[in-house]
Amino acid sequence: MLDPQAQALMTLLSEKGIPPVHTQTPPEARASYRARRSFTQPDAPEVGRVQDLSFKHSGVDIAVRVYHPTGASQALPALVYLHGGGWTVGDLDTHDVLCRSLCQQAHGVVVAVDYRLGPEHKFPAGYDDAVAAWQWVAAQAAALGIDPARIAIGGDSAGGNLAAAACLGLRDLGLKPVLQLLIYPSTLMAPETASYQTNGQGYMLTRDSMAWYSGNYLRGPQDTLDWRASPQLASSHAHLPPAFVLTAGFDPLRDEGLLYADALSRAGVPAQYICFERQIHGFITMGRVLQEANTAVALCAQALRTAWKQD
């Protein structure tokens, strides 16, 4: 059964005539996504300090927002966070509340990354930015008040895709985050899963929308086979960071998260998998209207605290 609160939200959006994302231009979709957040997201919790910074890699400037919890008096662990939005929409503001919540509840520094988006910046731009962001945070740990030995990486949806892929790339560089926090991640660019078939229409994220998103991000069909875009297809998932994978039952991406957790487990990587069976894609940012979103945020914060060994 679909969560009644999720059903009520989808009914309301339908009644308001919100156009499907794949019928909009990227600028229109970005504006619509930003505008809806005030309706579904909780009030922004207070944190100790927020810094808007940027770093440069390969001649590109990438903006980041650094959240420090209240009462921080020593070097703290950190989470490098990559927002969702189909590699096309979303920014530092659309996920500000979630990052603040994780910062306060996990009592760690959160570094949100404004990675480059398609279609203006095609694959592998987002992936490159994700890897570079984790490396920059590690290199700047002292200046940012961060313990360099306790830096995690995570994200939701497209951000979960980038976080998972970044862990593969960082492993090959001899680097290892302490946790990969994967919230309903996309792990296959050409999915033929059961959830893709059964949930691909009628539950917010649709097959048409997913095709629009991936079309904006990828350069062509050949990119679907690249592990940097489809981390499920990596030749090995061994020696990756422990994972906390969270999915939603009525999400077309549900099975991709499960498949990835299983791939990690088969490779000997500690992986926890939790599915909110009655929820829809994107629910974790919707705590104003979906109570289970707040439960999911608390679980993610607990997973971070455990990985950081703060309990």
Kindly list the catalytic residues: 157, 251, 281
Q: Is 7 helix (H, G, I), strand (E, B) or coil?
A: helix
Of 69, 75, 279, nearest to 183 by C-alpha is: 279
Whole-angstrom Cα distance, residue 136 to residue 115?
13
Q: For residue 202, what are the contacts with CB-CB under 8 A and spacing of at least 6?
A: none
Length of the chain as a residue count: 311
Q: What are phi and psi of 30, to 5 degrees?
A: -65, -45
Neighbours of 274 (CB within 10 A): 15
| Whether the Cβ atoms of residue 116 and residue 125 lie closer than 8 Å to each other | yes
Whole-angstrom Cα distance, residue 235 to residue 103?
34
Whole-angstrom Cα distance, residue 9 to residue 147?
40
In 65-103, which positions are buried (b, 16+ CB within 10 angstroms) versus exposed (e)?
A: bbbbbeebeebbbbbbbbbbbbbbbbbbebbbbbbbbbb
